[in-house]
Amino acid sequence: MTEPTLGNNIVTQVGIIVRDIESKARAWSEILGLPMPNIIITDTVDKAQTEYNGKSTTARAKLAFFHMGQLDVELIEPIDGPSTWKDQLDGHGDSLHHIAFVINDMQEKVAYLDSKGVPLLQRGEYTGGRYAYLDGVAQLGTVLELLEND
């Protein structure tokens, strides 16, 4: 039996943690000649069911997406409670955070990565799907994000 992998090796998103999403989004738009995106805010914990390090968290984030060919560049400004977003901002300042893949069977893929030393870091729901961040730093040098759309 072939071991499962993610079933998809197309990087669909690169995430960047920023302290001030409004100024960063304006700079991306101006410097790279891209349309200024709307800035959205993730759902509150009752809807998003956000968990960080296995515990419920009130963490939210402001998000802005730039469509750049195959992938989106996602700007992320952490707000409120504990999260991988806030920890990275506190520890490393404005910086690249993750690369993302769209997958099926979230539970299976998270279990597969955990078995490979890439444990679940944070997860949550959004309208139409869910995400999981996996701590791939020790094995792969980066956080991975999995996105499952219904």
Looking at the Cβ atoms of 59 and 64, the one nearer to a second copy is 64
Task: For residue 92, state whether it binds a second copy (rule: CB under 8 A).
Answer: yes
* 3-class SS string, the chain: CCCCCCCCCCCCEEEEECCCHHHHHHHHHHHHCCCCCCCEECCCHHHHCCEECCEECCCEEEEEEEEECCEEEEEEEEECCCCHHHHHHHHHCCEEEEEEEECCCHHHHHHHHHHCCCCEEEEEEECCEEEEEECCHHHHCCEEEEEEEC
- Decide if residue 142 touches a second copy (CB under 8 A): yes
Instruction: Choose, by CB under 8 A, the member of 60, 62, 86, 97 that binds a second copy.
Output: 97
Among 17, 61, 63, 146, binds a second copy (CB under 8 A): 17
The answer to the question of residue 63 lying near a second copy (CB under 8 A) is no
Pairing relationship of beta strands 13-17 and 95-102 according to DSSP bridges? antiparallel
Question: Judged by CB under 8 A, which of 36, 40, 111, 137 binds a second copy?
Answer: 137
The CB-of-91 to a second copy minimum distance in angstroms stands at 8
- Looking at the Cβ atoms of 48 and 109, the one nearer to a second copy is 109
Beta-ladder partners of 143: 98
C-beta closer to a second copy: residue 24 or 60: 24
Can you give the binding site for a second copy, defined by CB under 8 A? Answer: 3, 5-6, 9-11, 14, 16-18, 24, 27-28, 30-34, 68-71, 73, 75, 92-99, 113, 116, 118, 137-142
